[in-house]
Amino acid sequence: MTPSTSNGNRAPKWDIDSIFSGGSESKQYKEFCAQIETDLGAAQSKAPGLPGELNDAGRRTWAAWILELQGISERIHLASMFALCLVSQNVDDAGATAWVSHTTELKSKLDIIKATLESFAKSQSDADWDRLMSADGIASIRFYLDEMRRIARIKMSETQEKLALELAVNGYHAWNTLYEKMAGDLRVEVDENGAKKRISLGQNSARLSSPDRAVRHDAFTKMEEAWESRAELAAMTLNAQGGFRLSLYRNRNWESPLDEPLIICRMKRESLDAMWHAIETGGRKIADYVAAKKRFLGIDRFCWYDQDAPVGTIEKSFTFAEAGDFVVEHLGSFSKEMGDFTRMAIDKKWVEAENRAGKRAGAWCSRVPIRKETRVFMTFSENYDSLSTLAHELGHAYHGFVLRDEPAYAQRYPMTLAETASIFNELRVTDAALATAAKREEKLALLDQKLQSAFVFFSNIRARFIFDCRFYAERKKGIVGRAQLDALMTEAQKEAFYGLLDPSDGYHPLFWASKLHFFITDTPFYNFPYTFGFLFAKGVYDRALKEGPSFAKSYRALLSDTGRMTTDEVAQKHLGVDLSKNDFWDAAVARTMADVDEFVALCRK
Q: Is residue 335 part of a domain?
A: no
Q: Is residue 471 part of a domain?
A: yes
Q: What integer pLDDT is reported at residue 385 of this predicted model?
A: 86
pLDDT level of residue 194 (50, 70, 90 thresholds): confident
One-letter amino acid for residue 574 of the chain: H
- 264 and 153 inside one domain: no
Q: What integer pLDDT is reported at residue 189 of this predicted model?
A: 92
- 481 and 588 inside one domain: yes
Would the pLDDT of 7 be above 80? no
Would the pLDDT of 439 be above 70? yes
Span 533-543, average pLDDT: 95
Q: What is the DSSP letter of 365?
A: E
Which runs of E-coded beta strand occur in 152-212?
A: 187-192, 195-200
Q: How many helices (H) and strands (E) does the chain have?
A: 26, 5
Tens-place pLDDT, residues 47-73: 999 998 889 999 999 999 999 999 999
| CATH number of the domain residue 155 falls in | 1.20.140.70
Q: What integer pLDDT is reported at residue 2 of this predicted model?
A: 44
Q: Is residue 546 part of a domain?
A: yes
Q: Is residue 465 part of a domain?
A: yes
Final residue in a domain of this structure, among 143, 164, 179: 179
If one counts every other C-beta atom within 10 angstroms of the C-beta of residue 545, the result is 13
Q: What integer pLDDT is reported at residue 57 of this predicted model?
A: 93
Tens-place pLDDT, residues 267-304: 999 999 999 999 999 999 999 999 999 999 999 999 99
If one counts every other C-beta atom within 10 angstroms of the C-beta of residue 56, the result is 9
- 173 and 268 inside one domain: no
Average pLDDT of the chain is: 94
Which range, 6-15, 135-144, 198-207, has the best average confidence (pLDDT)?
135-144
Span 527-536, average pLDDT: 95
Would the pLDDT of 6 be above 70? no
- 128 and 30 inside one domain: yes
575 SS3 class: helix
Tens-place pLDDT, residues 486-526: 999 999 999 999 999 999 999 999 999 999 999 999 899 99
Span 137-162, average pLDDT: 95
Would the pLDDT of 3 be above 50? no
377 SS3 class: strand
Final residue in a domain of this structure, among 161, 179, 197: 179
How many angstroms separate the Cα of 417 from the Cα of each of 69, 151, 190?
25, 20, 39
Q: Is residue 99 part of a domain?
A: yes
How many angstroms separate the Cα of 400 from the Cα of each of 126, 396, 404?
33, 6, 6
Taking the CA atoms of residue 101, residue 105, residue 106 and residue 111 in that order, the dihedral angle to the nearest 10 degrees is: 140
- 162 and 27 inside one domain: yes
- Rounded to the nearest angstrom, the gap between the alpha carbon of residue 494 and the centroid of all alpha carbons in its chain is 25
Total domains, the chain: 2
Tens-place pLDDT, residues 211-253: 999 999 999 999 999 999 999 999 999 999 999 999 999 999 9
Instruction: Give the β-pairing of 351-352 and 373-377.
Output: parallel
Tens-place pLDDT, residues 469-484: 999 999 999 999 999 9
Q: What integer pLDDT is reported at residue 192 of this predicted model?
A: 83
Q: pTM here?
A: 0.89
Q: What integer pLDDT is reported at residue 5 of this predicted model?
A: 42
Q: Is residue 261 part of a domain?
A: yes
Q: Is residue 602 part of a domain?
A: yes
* Angle at the Cα of 365 from the Cα atoms of 364 and 366, rounded to 5 degrees: 130
Half-sphere exposure of 411 (CA within 13 A, CB side): 24
Final residue in a domain of this structure, among 145, 179, 213: 179
Q: What integer pLDDT is reported at residue 143 of this predicted model?
A: 97
Would the pLDDT of 8 be above 60? no
Q: What integer pLDDT is reported at residue 383 of this predicted model?
A: 87
Q: What integer pLDDT is reported at residue 313 of this predicted model?
A: 86
| CATH number of the domain residue 556 falls in | 1.10.1370.20
- Rounded to the nearest angstrom, the gap between the alpha carbon of residue 1 and the centroid of all alpha carbons in its chain is 29
Domain that includes residue 511, residue range: 255-314+439-605
- 63 and 162 inside one domain: yes
pLDDT level of residue 4 (50, 70, 90 thresholds): very low
